[in-house]
């Protein structure tokens, strides 16, 4: 099975060959590195930029306005914050021009903890991204969805923010991407650049890759259940699924939903589940103050108050300035398996 970085790479290859993607660029995105997580290795339209985040976003806006279809990368989301005003311009261009100007651009950036990246390589961006209207925002939790969401993103007429959970980029999937070779080692030999000299290396892309797409705005039930609803995305989604599976042996039946898209999001899926279970826990690793999950809690209270058997809960990252380098500091800063397990168990036991 492909890992998430390979899945993104194959989707971008398909997009540059079939969906009109014209430029894939950012710091170390082109040869020889192909991205710090190798998600752009071997792509024919990939090129390197200076270390200039504002230049990268500005270039993407300009190319999109000129009728191109760029995919820009900010190497780590920690460094996207000095582009907020440009992201706002990209988001409001279609609206401000009364629909005369579209910006078919994708900005991809690795987010979150999980690689011991410390202060400058561990921030989340989901809450901030959802504060910028005009963008569609996605975050996969597995390679198949990573492929499908990128295919969808590369067909949008207006900006898409593609958030890559960096802790999952090296994790292999459980479902095969359509067109992916059956043998994992064969895939690596075909599309992974060798160590050392790469000057003569060319990838051999799988011939059967397709336009498999995950619709933006559609979530997915990854584990059905009846006692409590758990809603998550990105790095924390697999942890929620694992916690729910472990709690089943003690009689707690948790339903787990992968949002996949933060905007637009699948409220009908969440709503139907909460109406069934009467309890909901929202989980993500962004800081807990002005967290996107707080919006979901507010909407749950406003629209589903009389369906609830317990107050809706949010489990999120601690409101601290950064994520520490030491294992203990990182693990104390963002939700871990034990935190999620305890939160689900406590919520399931609450009675009205």
State pLDDT tens for residues 251-273.
999 999 999 999 999 999 999 99
Q: Is the pLDDT of residue 44 over 90?
A: yes
* pLDDT tens readout for residues 86-126: 999 999 999 999 999 999 999 999 999 999 998 899 999 99
pTM of this structure: 0.97
Options 121, 123, 131, 227, the catalytic residue:
121
pLDDT at 188 over 90: yes
Strand order across the 261-263 sheet: 46-48, 23-26, 70-73, 106-111, 160-165, 136-138, 261-263
Q: How confident is the model at residue 223 (pLDDT cuts 50, 70, 90)?
A: very high
Range 308-325 average pLDDT: 95
Per-residue pLDDT at 199 exceeds 90: no
Give the residue from 106, 135, 136, 140 showing the smallest Cα distance to 23.
106
- Contact between residue 8 and residue 146 where contact means Cβ atoms under 8 Å apart: yes
Q: For the segment 128-159, what is each residue's pLDDT rounded down to a tens digit?
A: 999 999 999 999 999 999 999 999 999 999 99
- Distance between start and end Cα atoms, the chain: 45
pLDDT in the model for residue 352? 87
Least confident of 78-92, 97-111, 187-201: 187-201
User: What pLDDT sits at residue 82?
Assistant: 95
Tell me the mean pLDDT in the region 78-89.
97
Evaluate whether 166 touches 110 at the Cβ level (below 8 Å): yes
Question: Would you say residue 196 has pLDDT above 90?
Answer: no
Q: pLDDT band at 241, cuts 50/70/90?
A: very high
Q: Percent of the chain beyond pLDDT 90?
A: 94
Alpha-helical (H) ranges within 220-291 are 236-247, 267-277
Domains of the chain: 4-191 (3.40.50.970), 220-349 (3.40.50.920)
Give the dihedral sign, CA 288/293/296/297. Answer: negative
Say whether 121 is catalytic.
yes
pLDDT-derived band at 185, boundaries 50, 70, 90: confident
278-305 pLDDT, tens digit per residue, is 999 999 999 999 999 999 999 999 999 9
pLDDT at 184 over 90: no
Rounded to 5 degrees, φ, ψ at 181 are -60, 150
Give the per-residue pLDDT at 182. 87
Distance of CA 302 to the CA centre of its chain: 27
């Amino acid at each position: 099975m492909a890992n998430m970085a390979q899945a993104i790479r194959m989707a971008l290859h398909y997009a540059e060959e079939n969906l009109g993607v014209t430029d894939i660029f950012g710091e170390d995105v082109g040869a020889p590195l192909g991205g710090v997580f190798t998600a752009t290795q071997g792509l024919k339209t990939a090129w390197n930029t200076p270390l200039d985040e504002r230049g990268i976003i500005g270039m993407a806006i300009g190319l999109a306005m000129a009728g191109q279809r760029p995919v820009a990368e900010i190497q780590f989301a920690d460094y996207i914050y000095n582009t907020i005003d440009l992201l706002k311009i990209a988001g409001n261009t279609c609206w401000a021009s009364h629909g005369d100007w579209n910006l078919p651009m994708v900005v991809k950036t690795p987010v979150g903890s999980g690689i011991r990246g410390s202060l400058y390589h561990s921030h989340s961006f989901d809450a901030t991204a959802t504060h910028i209207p005009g963008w569609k925002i996605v975050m996969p939790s597995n390679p198949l969805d990573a492929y499908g969401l990128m295919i969808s993103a590369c067909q949008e007429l207006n900006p898409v923010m593609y958030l890559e959970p960096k802790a999952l980029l090296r994790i292999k999937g459980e479902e095969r991407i359509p067109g992916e070779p059956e043998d994992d080692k064969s895939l690596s030999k075909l599309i992974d650049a060798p160590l050392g000299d790469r000057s003569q290396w060319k990838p051999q892309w799988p011939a059967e890759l397709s336009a498999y797409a995950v619709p933006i705005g559609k979530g997915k039930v990854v584990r059905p259940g009846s006692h409590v609803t758990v809603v998550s995305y990105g790095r924390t989604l697999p942890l929620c699924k694992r916690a729910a599976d472990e709690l089943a042996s003690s009689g707690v039946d948790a339903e787990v939903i992968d949002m996949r898209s933060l905007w637009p999001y699948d409220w009908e899926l969440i709503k139907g589940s909460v109406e069934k279970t009467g309890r909901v826990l929202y989980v993500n690793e962004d800081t807990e103050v002005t967290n996107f999950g707080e919006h979901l809690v507010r909407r749950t209270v406003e629209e589903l108050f009389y369906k609830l058997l317990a107050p809706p809960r949010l489990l999120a990252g601690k409101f601290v300035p950064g994520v520490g380098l030491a294992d203990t500091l990182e693990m104390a800063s963002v939700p871990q398996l034990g935190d999620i397990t305890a939160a689900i168990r406590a919520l399931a036991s609450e009675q009205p």
